[in-house]
């Protein structure tokens, strides 16, 4: 071990031209930013979360490889302390994201504890997990090395998973790698207690995890818009109202994420980028005023949120819960013709189906009105739109 006398004597030498993180074979000690770092309970490197962005990933790989070679072991670990730097201690609790070096290189390890799958099939649960995180890994120049059930972490009603991720190290800090692991963990946790649905996606976006949408498909309840609606024009107002009305008239409600770009792929569209748009103060209120004028009846429970992505760019998120059948169909004051021209005095009715939209037809509208008339008279609607009175009393 390195004596404190020797450490103080040689401190100047350690600070000159040394990597920000390394392993000293001469003193068998970890060095982080020129300072000695005592190992954890098993001699592993313990890092502070606040310093991760200052440590190049390639230097961590070299340090861990040197440590493994020195002790003649096949692999070595580096963990991240879960306590603030002011209370740092190598024996304190650690984050569920850590790093491992072995003969194949540096890997990000994620420990996930989730409720046991309702279907009870462990292998199916692993397959679902792989499918869930793969698009995010593709978007972050990463790949899945391993995902399997961890018996040590599993204890009904919970199941533990061990996930290992290979990531490109070029130009990246250890903080970048940690962020990838954190993204995987957050994505899995967001869907651990529920199926992929509007509610979980909405919470994920509002909670700052919008970038995890990359790779997710559009569908019945999710719509990505790269550009903001131009509310200075009649076309922009009607387009916004129709976008919301489509989900109001659909069965599952929907989520519109403005500032996310989708691309076409075989079978539909997937979200490829989440960068946000430049928004003005009060934009949510302005969207609400347009919908108040253009959409009838007012959707129940709809919320409009502005979620920051960077200092200059934000997402506009319109969350529309499923609407009761009694309120449908939702009408838009204004229409956009096939040739793109607008008709401000017309009424349009649209509905979401898959990632596309369909117009509600005249027979559908007539059937709805007929059913409403019959209900008001206490009668029953027939398929031909007629009704028969039902005796009361």
Query: What's the pLDDT score for residue 133?
Result: 85
CB 96 within 8 A of CB 110: yes
What is the pTM assigned to this prediction? 0.62
Query: What's the pLDDT score for residue 383?
Result: 45
User: pLDDT tens across 268-313, in order?
Assistant: 898 989 999 998 889 999 999 999 999 999 999 999 999 998 889 9
What residues does each domain of the chain span? 4-194, 215-360
- Exposed / middle / buried, residue 356 (Cβ in 10 Å: 0-12, 13-18, 19+): exposed
Reported as half-sphere exposure (CB side, CA atoms, 13 A), residue 367 has a value of: 8
Q: Which of 148, 318, 180 is nearest to 242 (CA)?
A: 318
Q: Give the DSSP H/E element, type plus range, for residue 335.
A: strand 331-336
Cα 310 to chain center, whole Å?
16
User: pLDDT tens across 344-355, in order?
Assistant: 667 777 665 544
Beta bridge partners of 387: 381
Rg (CA), the chain: 28
DSSP state of 102: E
Residue with tokens 């609400």: 288
* CATH ID of 215-360, from 1.20.58.1000, 3.30.950.30, 3.40.50.720, 3.40.718.10: 3.30.950.30
Residue 157, preceding bond cis, omega within 30 degrees? yes
Query: What's the pLDDT score for residue 381?
Result: 45
**Distance, CA of 33 to CA of 13 (rounded, Å):** 13
pLDDT tens for the 393 residues of the chain, in order = 444 444 444 444 444 456 899 999 999 999 999 899 999 999 999 999 999 999 999 999 999 999 999 999 999 999 999 999 999 999 999 999 999 999 999 999 999 998 888 788 889 889 888 888 887 888 788 999 999 999 998 988 899 999 999 999 999 999 999 999 998 988 888 766 555 677 778 877 887 778 778 877 887 888 999 999 999 999 999 999 999 999 999 988 999 999 999 998 888 898 989 999 998 889 999 999 999 999 999 999 999 999 998 889 999 999 999 999 989 889 999 887 777 777 766 777 766 554 444 455 556 666 666 676 676 776 554 444 444 444 333
Three-state DSSP class for residue 204: helix
Task: Please provide the DSSP assignment of 300-322 as one string.
Answer: TT-EEEEEESSSS-EEEEEEEPP
Query: What's the pLDDT score for residue 351?
Result: 61
**Distance, CA of 272 to CA of 266 (rounded, Å):** 14
Three-state DSSP class for residue 49: helix
């Amino acid at each position: 071990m390195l004596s404190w006398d020797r450490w103080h004597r040689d401190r100047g030498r350690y600070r000159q031209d040394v990597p920000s993180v390394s392993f000293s074979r001469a003193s068998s000690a970890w060095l982080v930013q020129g300072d000695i770092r005592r190992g954890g309970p098993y001699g592993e490197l313990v890092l502070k979360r606040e310093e991760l962005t200052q440590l190049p990933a390639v230097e961590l790989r070299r340090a861990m490889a040197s440590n493994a070679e020195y002790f003649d072991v096949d692999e070595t670990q580096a963990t991240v302390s879960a306590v603030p730097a002011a209370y740092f201690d190598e024996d304190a609790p650690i984050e569920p994201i850590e790093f491992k070096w072995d003969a194949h290189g540096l890997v990000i390890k994620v420990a996930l504890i989730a409720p046991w799958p309702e279907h009870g099939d462990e292998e199916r649960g692993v397959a679902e997990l792989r499918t869930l995180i793969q698009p995010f890994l593709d978007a972050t120049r990463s790949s899945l090395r391993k995902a399997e059930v961890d018996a040590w972490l599993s204890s009904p009603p919970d199941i533990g998973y061990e996930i290992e991720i290979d990531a490109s190290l070029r130009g990246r800090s250890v903080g970048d790698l940690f962020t990838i692991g954190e993204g995987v963990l957050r994505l899995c946790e967001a869907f651990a207690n529920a199926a992929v649905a509007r509610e979980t996606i909405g919470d994920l976006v509002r909670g700052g995890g919008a970038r995890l949408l990359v790779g997710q498909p559009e569908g019945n309840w999710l719509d990505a818009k790269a550009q903001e609606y131009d509310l200075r024009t009649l076309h922009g107002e009607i387009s916004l109202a129709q976008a919301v009305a489509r989900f109001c008239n659909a069965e599952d409600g929907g989520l519109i994420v403005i500032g996310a770009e989708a691309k076409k792929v075989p079978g539909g569209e997937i979200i490829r980028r989440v960068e946000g748009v430049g928004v003005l103060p009060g934009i949510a209120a302005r969207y609400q005023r347009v919908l108040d004028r253009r959409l009838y009846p007012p959707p129940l429970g709809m919320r409009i949120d502005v979620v920051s992505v960077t200092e200059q760019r934000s997402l506009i998120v319109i969350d529309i819960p499923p609407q009761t059948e009694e309120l449908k169909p939702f009408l838009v004051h204004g229409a956009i013709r096939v040739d793109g021209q607008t008709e401000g005095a017309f009424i349009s009715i649209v509905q979401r189906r898959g990632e596309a939209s369909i117009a509600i037809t005249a027979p559908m509208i007539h059937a709805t009105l007929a059913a409403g008339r019959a209900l008001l008279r206490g009668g029953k609607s027939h398929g031909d739109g007629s009704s028969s009175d039902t005796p009361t009393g």
